Structure 1
Amino acid sequence: MTVYAIIGGTGLTRLEGLSIHQSLPLDTPYGAPSADIQKGEYAGREVLFLARHGHPHRFPPHQVNYRANLWALKQAGAEAILAVNAVGGIHPAMGSGHFCVPHQLIDYTSGREHTYFADDLEQVTHIDFSYPYSESLRQQLIAALAAEGCEFSSQGVYACTQGPRLETVAEIARLERDGCDIVGMTGMPEAALARELELDYACLALVVNPAAGKSVTVISMAEIEQALQDGMGKVKSTLARVLVANR
């Protein structure tokens, strides 16, 4: 049976309903992960959980130790990663509260430790990253969202920006010209590192605000927090459906 791990982003620093059997304070060759790996039972099956930004939420996107996080999850036994991301909506369909299961991404970040293949190599290693998300995991999320009756898009292009600031109107216009549908700050290098470790990986993105220039008002943290609060119940029930369907 596949061992699933859930990486919780902004708004999901703890997984209510997770019956914790162990809290694993793992160390890795790349330092400590953002938080202890929680190992327990959720929706009737064993699952691993990691708060991407720590608990409490203390690591900004550009300072998350993505290499340690993914390494620790694999060390704890993870085989498939369900990553939850709060994002801004660029495409007109991506309003607040909308879900997207992206099929592609573009990386606009810089300066992040983004690969395990960097030091003391006997030979250069390249991974095929043509399709950054596991299609089988994507389909599981899509089926769960449909069963939950959520408003969602079954594909989209995720733009990953550096953060922690939000983007300018001109930057969002550029991302839209590039073909991006949603924008976030944590999708990379997480997805690529999962591929290097041969872990299946898919993203469940919750739109929490229109991207810059996509609404008549300025983006407010109150608006984002409200969208997170409203959407987290659906996030949890969607994840539970994926786990139950694969018991």
Structure 2
Amino acid sequence: MTQTMIGVIGGSGIYEIDGLEGAQWVDVASPWGAPSDQILTGALEGVKMAFLPRHGRGHVHSPTDVPYRANIDALKRLGVTDVISVSACGSFREEMAPGDFVVVDQFIDRTFAREKSFFGSGCVAHVSVAHPTCPRLGQACFSAAKDAGVTIHKGGTYLAMEGPQFSTLAESKMYREHWGADVIGMTNMPEAKLAREAELCYASIAMVTDYDSWHPHHGEVDVNEIIKVLMGNAEKGRQMIRRLPALLGPDRAPCPHGCDRALDYAIMTAPEKRDAALVAKLDAVAGRVLGAAG
């Protein structure tokens, strides 16, 4: 058993967690650059918590410019075991209405201007992201949201677009009608892939703000309307987060789905061929397996 530490990455509208005991904003240095912001640490019901505003307080980072690698690395360095991603999204499904939440379990990654891996030349690794989120953690979020009175849908495919512009009508129709996506956003990739490389359980909660541009009765995305829904969603998100410690508990067994052992057979580069500088940067992310390999 290890000690649970819940890391929350807050998206648009969620910039803090209420009620943390011993709350303090801390700086975490990462060899992958500066994280989006300081990280708020503390405890809820005896469970350690860490909160990182994905865009920084004041929303200073665009989706493309979010330092995803530094964010995941910094959370791992703090001792986070479980990462909850909370983010705004558009919906391609009538039943996934503005104000609803979706427990995402699949992704279509259409981003193209972001660093997507901690590994590379000098230390090559391939992890599986066939099932990119943790079912155990997703179930906890689902239960917490239901308990908070939130309308939440279990399962959905998230189309990750580069942004920062919203979709064209043609794109929106293609993603909905031909690609089978359920929601669309700009920030869960490469975040989910990096969390898997860092052997962190990861759950994505998408908070619906609009119907993108496909819906015949809602027309194009209206930013003013999005902001109104966003504020309501933010409070629902905080209520969900406050219920997670009671569900996850202070003691944590190994992940039954193997998220925390994702690197067991992933690293391909022979020990004598590994780049020492890259290996040094991987001390937090992959120290468990690189250290064991000597």
Equivalent-residue separation in structure 1 for 2:212 and 2:202 (angstroms): 25
User: Does the Cα contact within 8 Å between 1:66 and 1:190 map onto a contact in 2?
Assistant: yes
- The structure 2 residue matched to 1:80, chosen from 82, 88, 91, is 82
Q: How far is 1:16 from its partner?
A: 2.7
Instruction: Supply the distance in 1 between the matched residues of 2:22 and 2:230 (Cα, whole angstroms).
Output: 24
Counterpart of 2:253 in structure 1 is none
CA distance in 2, matches of 1:223, 1:93: 19
Q: Does 2:50 match 1:17?
A: no
Aligned match of 2:208: 207
Structure 1 residue runs of 4 or more that deviate by more than 4 Å after TM superposition: none
Structure 1: 5+ residue runs without aligned partners?
none
Change in Cα spacing, 1:21 to 1:15, as seen in structure 2 (3 Å) is: closer
Contact 2:213 2:219 in 1 (8 A): no
Deviates more, 1:185-194 or 1:224-233: 224-233
Mapped to 1, the partners of 2:21 and 2:76 lie a distance apart of: 20
Q: Which amino acid aligns with 2:135?
A: E
Indicate conservation of the 8 Å contact 1:43/1:240, yes or no. Answer: no
Which SS does the other structure have where 2:210 is aligned? strand
Q: TM-score, with normalisation over the residues of structure 1?
A: 0.95
CA distance in 2, matches of 1:106, 1:227: 25
Q: Answer with 206-215 or 176-185: which moved more.
A: 206-215
Please state how far the C-alpha of 1:43 moved relative to its aligned partner.
Answer: 4.9
Q: Where do residues 103-122 of structure 1 align in structure 2 (5 Å cutoff)? A: 103-121=105-123
Give the conservation status (yes or no) of the 8 Å contact 1:89–1:183.
Answer: yes
Residues 148 and 23 of structure 1: is their aligned pair in 2 closer, same or farther, counting only changes over 3 Å?
A: closer
Corresponding residue for 1:53?
A: 55
Given the two structures, how large is their TM-score scaled by the length of structure 2? 0.80
Deviation string 1:62-89 (CA, Å, 9 cap, x unpaired) is 0000000000000011011011010001
Letter in 1 for 2:97: G
Show the 5 A alignment for 1:166-181: 166-176=166-176, 177-181=178-182
Report SS of the residue matched to 2:144: helix
1:224 matched residue in structure 2: 226
Could you tell me how far apart the structure 1 residues matched to 2:8 and 2:76 are? 12
Question: Residue 146 of structure 1 aligns with which residue?
Answer: 146
Seen in structure 2, the aligned counterparts of structure 1 residues 43 and 219 have a Cα distance that, compared at 3 Å, is farther
Q: CA deviation at 1:44?
A: 4.8
SS at match of 1:62: coil
State the 1:9 CA deviation.
0.4
The CA deviation at 1:195 is: 0.1
* Partner amino acid, structure 1, of 2:148: E
Structure 1 residue 134, shift from structure 2 partner: 0.4
Q: Per-residue deviation at 1:20? A: 4.6
- Cα separation, 2, equivalents of 1:24 and 1:246: 24
Q: Report the CA distance shift for 1:195/1:151 in structure 2 as closer, same or farther (over 3 A).
A: same
Secondary structure of the residue aligned to 2:7 is strand
- The equivalences for 1:227-238 within 5 A come to 227-238=229-240
Residues in 1 aligned to 2:218 and 2:101: alpha-carbon distance in whole angstroms: 22
Aligned to 2:34: 32
Q: Do 1:70 and 1:193's aligned partners in 2 also have CA atoms closer than 8 Å?
A: yes
Question: Could you list the per-position Cα deviations for residues 77-135 of structure 1 after superposition, in whole angstroms to 9, with x for gaps in the alignment?
Answer: 101101101000111111100110011111000020110012432xx311011000001
One-letter amino acid matched to 2:44: Y
- Partner secondary structure for residue 64 of structure 2: helix
SS of the equivalent of 2:32 reads coil
Counterpart amino acid of 1:203? S
Moved more, 236-245 or 38-47: 38-47
- Whether the 8 Å contact between 1:24 and 1:39 is mirrored in structure 2 is yes
Secondary structure (helix, strand or coil) at the match of 1:4 reads strand
Tell me how far 1:143 sits from its aligned partner. 1.3
SS of 1:61's equivalent in the other structure is: coil
2:200 aligned with 1:196, yes or no?
Answer: no
For residues 17 and 84 of structure 1, the distance between their equivalents in structure 2, rounded to whole angstroms, comes to: 18
Q: CA RMSD in A?
A: 1.3
Q: CA deviation at 1:144?
A: 1.5
